[in-house]
Amino acid sequence: MTATEGAFAHWIAALEATHFSQLTFPEVSRALRALSSTYVERREKLAEGAALSGAGKRAAFALFYGPLHHLLVTHIVEALPGATENVPALLDLGCGTGASGAAWAAACGKPPRVLGIDRHPWTLGQAAAAYRAFGLSATVRQGDITTANLPKGPVAILAAFTMNELAEPARDALLTRLVDRASHGDRLLIVEPLAGFVARWWNRWRDTFEAAGGRADEWRLHTALPPIVAKLDRAAGLSHREITGRSLWLGGPAPQG
């Protein structure tokens, strides 16, 4: 087992200890069903913070989606040329439990400093614990990423499963700002679900990223799930035989040779 795999296992064990000290497994799997229906059928509720309302949904988010996002983002940054080299600082926008930011930072040859920003106060302690679990030097801050002052570059900017929660005008304005930063040397990675309901804005921004020299990818990862994730997947009637997602990437150095 590598050090990062060991940290991943410890992080999940700590999440299990925390959340199952307050809730039973059936409570968490019921909450997971409700949470997945919020993501799929009641997306308009996301802007009101519905995904993280209540201990059950928070536990389901932390124990189920967190590890899936972590595995997917690790796979993505390892596959994108240059994504893990010379990253001095990482900005995790809408950091949630820190799962995705920790994945990118921990995959880097020399781990960057991390700043996680989220509007939801519950996430901040979770994110700080996740970054710590991976041995990262990190700060977390409560804020609205559409209006927050972002640190000066050079920085690698991640928005994983976050852009889709923003209202259209705010998302467009933020993406415009971030693409402009990438044209001045920052790296930029946007990750979202593969599901078609994000297609309208996705296709438009895919064209923008590609025109700016970036790339768009779809990912299908076949990997062993951590036991608690597989157990929740079965119990909630979901089917993550593969972990899927799509990404927009800008700012990596061109592949050599």
Q: Which residues bind ligand SAM (CB under 6 A)?
A: 66, 69, 94-97, 99-100, 118-120, 123, 144-146, 160-162, 165-166
Angle of helix 66-79 versus helix 3-19 axis, rounded to 10: 160
Q: Which is nearer to ligand SAM, 24 or 176 (CB)?
A: 176
Q: Answer for the pair 126, 59: CB distance below 8 angstroms, yes or no.
A: no
Among candidate residues 187, 195, 208, the one with its CA nearest the CA of residue 92: 187
The CB-of-14 to ligand SAM minimum distance in angstroms stands at: 16
The CB-of-214 to ligand SAM minimum distance in angstroms stands at: 20
Q: Which is nearer to ligand SAM, 112 or 185 (CB)?
A: 112
Q: Which is nearer to ligand SAM, 5 or 48 (CB)?
A: 48
The CB-of-211 to ligand SAM minimum distance in angstroms stands at: 26
Q: Which is nearer to ligand SAM, 155 or 160 (CB)?
A: 160
Q: Which is nearer to ligand SAM, 167 or 254 (CB)?
A: 167
Structure tokens belonging to residue 74:
């690790």
DSSP state of 149: P
Rounded distance, CA 177 to CA 174, Å?
A: 5
Rounded distance, CA 19 to CA 153, Å?
A: 36
194 CB neighbour count, 10 Å cutoff: 14
The CB-of-69 to ligand SAM minimum distance in angstroms stands at: 4
The CB-of-149 to ligand SAM minimum distance in angstroms stands at: 13
Rounded distance, CA 9 to CA 168, Å?
A: 37
The CB-of-47 to ligand SAM minimum distance in angstroms stands at: 7
Q: Which is nearer to ligand SAM, 173 or 183 (CB)?
A: 173
Q: Which residue is nearest to ligand SAM (CB)?
A: 96
Q: Which is nearer to ligand SAM, 29 or 164 (CB)?
A: 164
The CB-of-53 to ligand SAM minimum distance in angstroms stands at: 11
Beta strand spans in 84-162 (E): 89-93, 113-118, 138-142, 156-160
> CA-CA distances (angstroms) from residue 173 to 119, 146, 165, 168, 246?
18, 8, 14, 9, 21
